[in-house]
Amino acid sequence: MEWLIVTLVGILSGTHTATWGMYKDSIHEGFTFRRYSRSILVSTAISPVAYWLTGLDAFRVADLVILFGIVYVAERGLTEFYKIYLRDEDQSKYFIPMQFHVFGRVIRSRAVRLAIGIPHAAVVIALIFLIDYVQDTSSAPFWLLVVTLGSLGGWISAFGGAWKDAPIEGFEWLKFFRSPVVAALYALLLSRFTGDLVLIALAAEGFTVATLETYKTFFFPSKPRGKFAGKPVLFPGMLRMRQYFVPVYVLIWITVVSGFVLAFLSGEAA
């Protein structure tokens, strides 16, 4: 039962990611089960590994909420690394290239991209250990550590997005600070469930991505994603078909929000 619950968390997390991605992209590049199932399969594989590494308790609702966020950010990190540094794909269909680029100029060599991507990934992993080190050695108030270190994933996302998007679509201050602010708020909320700043930071960034992508996708359904800005709708049939996935997406959000509420009501929150 324990591992069944953990696997289900991975499936829910992956389906959530797959659905907003499909909803925004399918009208431009079509729908395939392989593309839709990618995030689901990756998240399902990540979930038991993350559960084992973190020592969370599958029978504690608060821990399942944390696990959902961690699986979410881990899947996003792995998938984005693959898209940016490993995958070779025709970039002409995009307004903003998905492969690593410098001011819009795509780096074609995979070896060069990996020479950049591997140190990039190493720095991100090092920051995780830094959070753990600071928590063990700092005498700063816990709430201050939560706001600063817990929002670190949001800052990584903000700087990464600015590097990738700003040279092509311009820089927006509101957009830049959006991820760090939302991540800090989630970190404060999650700090009621655990005192481990590494878990807080990872889960906070996972929920930040989930929240902002929901906002951008379903509150502005007619606005194309930045990478497809100005590109024609090549698969108009998906405008209707994608609506059939919305109830599943809403149900997952209801499950996640219910998890937060139950964790507080059950007395699991500190």
Looking at this protein, which amino acid is placed at residue 268? Answer: E
Kindly list the domain boundaries of the chain, sorted by start residue.
Answer: 2-117+199-265
* Cα–Cα dist 124/56, whole Å: 22
255 — pLDDT class (breaks 50, 70, 90):
very high
Burial of 208 by CB count in 10 Å (0-12 exposed, 13-18 middle, 19+ buried)?
buried
Give the mean model confidence (pLDDT) for residues 234-261. Answer: 95
Quote the pLDDT of residue 246: 96
Express each pLDDT in 20-38 by its tens digit. Answer: 999 998 998 899 999 999 9
Per the model's pLDDT, the better-predicted residue between 108 and 5 turns out to be 5
Contacts of 245 (CB under 8 A, 6+ apart): 19, 22, 23
Is residue 47 within 8 Å of residue 10, measured between CB atoms? yes
In this structure, how many other beta carbons lie within 10 angstroms of the beta carbon of residue 228?
19
* Cα–Cα dist 151/155, whole Å: 7
Polymer length in residues for the chain = 270
Res 63 pLDDT > 90: yes
* Cα–Cα dist 175/162, whole Å: 9
Quote the pLDDT of residue 165: 67
171 — pLDDT class (breaks 50, 70, 90):
low
* Cα–Cα dist 234/238, whole Å: 9
Q: Which two tokens stand for residue 106?
A: 């795509």
Spatial CA neighbour of 132 closest among 214, 54, 73: 54
Spatial CA neighbour of 186 closest among 170, 171, 204, 168: 204
Average pLDDT in the chain: 89
Express each pLDDT in 76-121 by its tens digit. Answer: 999 999 988 888 887 777 777 777 777 777 888 889 989 999 998 9
Q: Which two tokens stand for residue 267?
A: 């007395």
* Cα–Cα dist 237/218, whole Å: 18
224 — pLDDT class (breaks 50, 70, 90):
low
Single pTM value for the model? 0.92
Quote the pLDDT of residue 73: 97
Looking at this protein, which amino acid is placed at residue 47? Answer: S
